[in-house]
Amino acid sequence: MNSDYALLETKIEYVFKDKDLLLNALTHTSFANEHRSKGIKDNERLEFLGDAVLELVSSEFLFKTMPDMPEGNMTKLRASLVCEPTLANDAREIGLEEFIYLGKGEEETGGRKRNSIVSDAFEGSIFLDGGIDNARDFIIKFALNDIENKRLFYDSKTILQERINIAKVGKLSYEITGETGPDHNKTYEVAAILDDKVIG
């Protein structure tokens, strides 16, 4: 756990006027529950607001920067940019996981490595603290960068499905063939099957 908030603000290129909003954004439910008597709030309400801000900004960005892209393609691209694994990677690039307040149990079971925790970022708190322009700047710098690689990596399942449908070569399905790791942080191996043949 790192409490050098000046360092974090340097990394995200935004300085909070209201430091309580910053602390709220970093507080996981597990920590708030363990310190309920102190009136500490978790970041779930901020996450709710942040999701809306993220969707608005990413929609506006794609609409303006990709004027020839059809609506359906924009929807799929936006989904790949704001999905949990992508946002968690974005957060790890600025070392956000080091600053999150976690309860003892969550800390001991590897919460800092969990995408669902790390991906709950700052959009809502920056929006409340500095308005939509600052939130937009943050999202464009840290979530809407490197779009081509994010689209190819995180939307590969959709791309495969579309190609199979166009070629009309059979029915695509998926089967879990293995799993490793503890229950709270499993890694799965999945086979892509075309009719009865494993293709990947």
Q: Is 148 a catalytic residue?
A: no
Residues 6 or more apart whose CB falls under 8 angstroms from that of 176 comprise 188, 189, 190
Q: Is 123 a catalytic residue?
A: yes
* Strands, E assignment, the chain: 172-180, 187-194, 197-198
Residue type at position 122 = F
- Active-site residue among 42, 51, 84, 146? 51
- Active-site residue among 90, 97, 106, 123? 123
The two three-digit tokens of residue 2, written as one number: 């790192």
Question: What is the C-alpha separation between 189 and 66, in angstroms, rounded?
Answer: 35
CA distances to 29, 104, 113 from 108, in Å: 15, 6, 11
- Active-site positions? 51, 123
